[in-house]
Amino acid sequence: MDTFVGYSAHNVPFESGVNLPLLVFYPTFTPERPERLGAYTLDLALNAELKSGVFPLVVISHGGGGTPYVYRDLAKYLAKRGFVVAIPEHPFNNRRDNSKEGTIENLTNRPRHLRTVIDWMFKQEPYASALKPNTVGVVGHSMGGFTALAVAGAVPTCLPHEAPDRQPHAIKVEREPRVRALVLFAPASVWYRVKGAFDDVDLPILMYVGEKDFITPYGIHGRLVLEGVRDRSKIDYRMVKNGGHFAFLTPFPPEMTNPDFPPSQDPAGFDRVWFQRELHADVVDFLGRLL
């Protein structure tokens, strides 16, 4: 029987009445049909029965002011190949409400969002009985890269303007031992500039940076990761030739592709569609070997 991709949406309790909107993609035998995901359409089997088996969990953390929907093609590709994929929307740092951007609260809560989602997925049926125990991969783009590194044990320090007293402070985060591998897309990493910030990060990392990324330029952000992680051999480092910051987002439909919407734009001559075919295959290969 052919494997298709199922999809369900949930609200996961976080704290103080705040919920985490969560999209889950998973293998199923139920045929797909066109479904709306926010502003987009994708062939999926809505609320279908999960295929029997045991599957690794992958959690995707979106960029600051972003949305889970822009990673839909990667999520579907992973799910079709035997992963369960969970993508939370980070409260107060998303497209609809970005009111906590640039705050200590956002730096503290983003990693906690991922831990909350991981806990929920391992307790909530039908997912709990279908997940490979204690085995999670995290994919993070931009601020999602910051978040992925934090759950892997990196210790961030806030920037002075993010603190009420205008002083840098170490942010208390808790390492998530179930996370076994990271995939970083143009990670935002200036919060890890203090020496020793990566001392407890000891897991395989696949890291992509864009040659023409002017939002998280690799000479600053990528370099911090490469020079900070103790065992450089743990990092598979990929420079995306001519790639910009948004190369990792699912290509936008024609009606949303215009110069006034930067996430839809790439440097001249860069083919996002072609690049993502290779990207998705490489991510599945990397995670498939480790999870």
pTM: 0.97
Interatomic CA distance for residues 66 and 38, integer angstroms:
13
Q: Give the CATH H-level superfamily of domain 4-290.
A: Alpha/Beta hydrolase fold, catalytic domain (3.40.50.1820)
- Two tokens at 36? 């709306």
**Partners of 24 in the beta sheet?**
8, 86
pLDDT digits over 177-196, tens only?
Answer: 999 999 999 999 999 999 99
Q: What is the pLDDT along the chain (291 residues), one digit of tens a residue?
A: 789 999 999 999 998 889 999 999 999 999 999 999 989 999 999 999 999 999 999 999 999 999 999 999 999 999 999 999 999 999 999 999 999 999 999 999 999 999 999 999 999 999 999 999 999 999 999 999 999 999 999 999 999 999 889 999 899 999 999 999 999 999 999 999 999 999 999 999 999 999 999 999 999 999 999 999 999 999 999 999 999 999 999 999 999 999 999 999 999 999 999 999 999 999 999 999 999
- Two tokens at 68? 């889970």
Interatomic CA distance for residues 72 and 56, integer angstroms:
18
**Is residue 93 within 8 Å of residue 111, measured between CB atoms?**
no
- The answer to whether the bond into 253 is cis (omega within 30° of 0) is no
Neighbours of 164 (CB within 10 A): 8
Domain map of the chain by residue range? 4-290
